[in-house]
Each structure stands twice: as C-alpha cells, then as structure tokens.
C-alpha cells in the first residue's frame, strides 16, 4: 500500500536524513518506525504526505507516485496525528474534528455530525465537543487528534509520536483505544515512536532505523525480538528481549485445572462465580486476585504467577467468570516453549503448546515454513 523505493533525503544544509530507503508497508497494517533520535523517522513519515519532498527515489501510496498528486489534496486524503495533538486552539473540539470534512466541502451539518460520531468513537463524551483544546487533558487532546485525523475516513494514517507527551497510564489507554479502533477500521498506519514497548504492542511490522537515515531491519515484532539483524538492533531492543517476546504470546493454549480445595489457600468467588481473592486457611487473610483471560499475554501470566500467594494464575472467560487455574510450572513451561518457537520462526500467538524443534535442521525447516 505504501512503498518506498530507493528514497533519499538530503536537506539543503547537507544533512542526509534518509539514506536509500526501500520499504513496503502492508495495506491495513501498522508499521512502526523506531530508532534513536535524529535517525530519519519523522522525515521518512513526512515524505509520505509530501510535507517533506524526497531528494530522489519514489514513494507510492496505493500504487500512485505521491509526486504525481496535488500536495494539498494528498494531505487531505491522509490522516496525520502529531505529539500534543496540534489542535487549533481557537476552535472548539467539534470544529477541530470537522476541519478536513469542511475543507472537502461536505457542508457544516454533515461535517459536524461525522465529528460528533468520531468523538464518541475515540471515547469522548458529546459535551467535550463544545470545549476548547486547552480545557481538555493531554490524553483527551490526543483522542481529539486521532478523531480529527480519522474524520475524512482516510485509508492511511500517519502518527508521529502521538502518545509521547502523556503519562504511562494514559498512554496505555490510548494504545488500547488505537488497537480497538484499528480492529474496526483496518487503516494503513505508519507510527513513529521512541518506545520499543509501544512498537511491539502496536506494530504488525517494526522498522528499526539507525543514524544517518539507514533502515537496519524491518520485521514482525516476534521475528525482530527473536532474530535481531545485528548488535545495534539487539541493543535497541534491550536486555529484556525474551520477556518482550512473551508479551506477544497469549494464554489460550495453556492448560487449566479446577481451583484447589482443602489446601492452604482457598479461592473466594462472588455470587456470580467471579474470582475475588485468595484466602489463607490459617489466618483468614485475603489477597485480591487479578484474573486473566485467554487473550492476556504470557508475560502477564508470569507476573501473576509470581505475585499469587497460591502460585496459581486464575483464569476467567470474557464475562469474568472463573474457568480454572494454571500453575506456575505450566506458565513457565509454556514460556520456554513460546521462546523456542519464536527463535525457530514458528507462530506463537494462540498456537498449540508443542515443543519447537531445537536442531539446526529444525531451524532451517521452520524458517522455510515461515517465509
Ligand atoms: N528541515 C531540516 N533541515 C535540516 N536538517 C534537518 C531538517 N529536518 C530534520 N533534519 C535533520 O535530519 C535528521 C533526521 O531528522 P528526523 O527528524 O527525521 O529524525 P527522527 O528520527 O524523527 O528524530 P527524533 O526521534 O528526534 O524526532 C536529523 O539529523 C535532523 O537534524
């Protein structure tokens, strides 16, 4: 959907911001650009909507060379979200979101109706539409920024560190919101961040850049974490690569059994069979439980298995009703398998817990299968 072919950008002051970049970004997927400061992520992003013009090479969106299109028209057809939202301070939130539809000549009434629907979609109450940007929190402003970028229903969304300026809790909420929206909308998204955890969480593919505008590796998160192309990428991913890999594997294949009876810990349920706490048989002291669903990650399960006084992870269905418990050993065992599968290129998300082949021959077969 978005293709870079031998793209080079050299600014008039002699700085090479992007060096010979060739990259395909899949339609309906999230491609995340990561890398240290000044390595050309923003310049690459801004060349897609012609806010920066390439010095050489070709960029195509939907098969069309961006340089063959009118720049203003192109920009209106591509949503753009930046850090601190970049909202117009003297326009209400509703009018901020309605900006592009109005420019496209939709008429005030239709533009405002669409804007109001979008505010709801990004989780903002209708009355927020009457406020001005400075009357919103940072996280709320970012939601407005996302709504504004989506207003004309563009197939492509460019997001330049959109959640960089909010605290970690709000950031996680905004990431969740974006993942939820993306499930509904399937936009082609290019997302710039400094945060590798954010990249792993949001990306279908992650492109790692290094100084001088060089693309070092572009791969799916699991592949990148399991097989970084070189030391630079490995360093960038950090020492906890193995744990990050576990965040990509869900709990669905991990066995569960009935909650224990008669041991030193008893699982307390409410009237609807929703888990509430672990109760110590001797003292009666209760420790709250944080039950997990099948879609939760193995990393959360490892964390819970360590935190649980009974050494058991409590599992629930989509309604929060108890389905069973899983032992610390089972979680650890599955974590080892998931890690080995990632190293051999076998799929890990929701896959059956078969041990992965460990031999060099097995590695070759798995890689051929994955390609
Ligand atoms: N208009 C410009 N004129 C000259 N040099 C520029 C210009 N814009 C960016 N650069 C330089 O190009 C290089 C790449 O910048 P860019 O903003 O693309 O990096 P980045 O990876 O997005 O950085 P950051 O993570 O800090 O935002 C940097 O060395 C930067 O100083």
Block residue for tokens 């108890």: 322
Task: Judge if the beta carbon of residue 40 lies within 6 A of ligand 1.
Answer: yes
Give the Å distance between the CA of 186 and the centre of ligand 1.
29
Q: What is the pLDDT of residue 156?
A: 93
> What sign does the dihedral 133-135-141-143 (CA atoms) show?
negative
Task: Judge if the beta carbon of residue 11 lies within 6 A of ligand 1.
Answer: yes
Q: Which atom of ligand 1 is nearest to the CA of 40?
A: 18
Block residue for tokens 């997001």: 159
Which domains can be identified in the chain, with CATH numbers?
A: 2-238 (3.40.50.300), 239-371 (3.10.580.10)
Task: Judge if the beta carbon of residue 138 lies within 6 A of ligand 1.
Answer: no
Question: Which strands form 64-65's sheet, in the order they lie side by side?
Answer: 16-25, 2-10, 56-61, 64-65
Q: What is the pLDDT of residue 363?
A: 27
Angle, vertex CA 239, rays to CA 237 and CA 244, nearest 5: 60
pLDDT in tens, 45-59: 999 999 999 999 999
Give the Å distance between the CA of 37 and the centre of ligand 1.
8
Distance (Å, rounded) from C-alpha 17 to C-alpha 8?
8
How far is Cα of residue 259 from the mean position of the Cα atoms in its chain?
34
pLDDT in tens, 288-341: 999 999 999 999 999 998 889 889 999 999 999 999 999 988 998 888 887 777
Q: What is the pLDDT of residue 371?
A: 31
Block residue for tokens 């065992």: 333
Q: Pairing relation of β-strands 322-327 and 312-316?
A: antiparallel
């Amino acid at each position: 959907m978005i293709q870079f072919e031998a793209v080079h950008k050299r600014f008039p002051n002699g700085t090479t911001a992007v060096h010979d970049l060739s990259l395909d970004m899949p339609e309906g997927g999230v491609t995340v650009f990561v890398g240290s400061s000044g390595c050309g992520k923003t310049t690459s992003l801004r060349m897609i909507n012609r806010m920066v013009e390439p010095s050489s090479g070709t960029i195509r969106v939907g098969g069309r060379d961006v340089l063959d299109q009118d720049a203003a028209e192109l920009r209106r057809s591509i949503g753009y979200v930046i850090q601190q939202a970049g909202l117009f301070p003297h326009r209400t939130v509703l009018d901020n979101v309605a900006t592009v539809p109005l420019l496209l000549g939709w008429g005030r009434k239709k533009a405002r109706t669409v804007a109001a629907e979008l505010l709801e979609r990004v989780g903002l109450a209708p009355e927020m539409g009457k406020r001005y940007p400075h009357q919103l929190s940072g996280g709320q402003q970012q939601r407005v920024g996302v709504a504004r970028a989506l207003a004309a229903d563009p197939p492509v969304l460019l997001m330049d560190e959109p959640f960089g300026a909010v605290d970690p809790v709000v950031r996680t909420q905004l990431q969740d919101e974006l993942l939820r929206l993306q499930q509904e909308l399937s936009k082609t998204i290019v997302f710039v961040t400094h945060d590798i955890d954010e990249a792993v969480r949001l990306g279908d593919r992650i492109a790692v850049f290094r100084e001088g505008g060089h693309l070092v590796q572009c791969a799916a998160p699991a592949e990148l974490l399991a097989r970084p192309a070189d030391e630079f990428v490995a360093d960038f991913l950090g020492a906890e690569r193995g744990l990050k890999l576990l965040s990509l594997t869900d709990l669905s294949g991990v066995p569960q059994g009935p909650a224990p009876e008669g041991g030193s810990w008893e699982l307390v349920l409410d009237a609807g069979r929703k888990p509430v706490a672990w109760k110590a048989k001797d003292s009666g002291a209760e420790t709250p439980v944080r039950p997990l669903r099948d879609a939760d990650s193995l990393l959360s399960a490892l964390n819970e298995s360590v935190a649980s006084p009974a050494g058991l992870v409590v599992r629930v269905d989509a309604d929060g009703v108890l389905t069973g418990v899983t032992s610390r050993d089972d979680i650890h065992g599955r974590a080892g398998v998931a890690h080995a599968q990632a190293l051999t290129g076998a799929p890990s998300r929701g896959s059956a817990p078969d041990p992965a082949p460990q031999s060099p021959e097995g590695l070759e077969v798995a890689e051929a299968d994955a390609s």
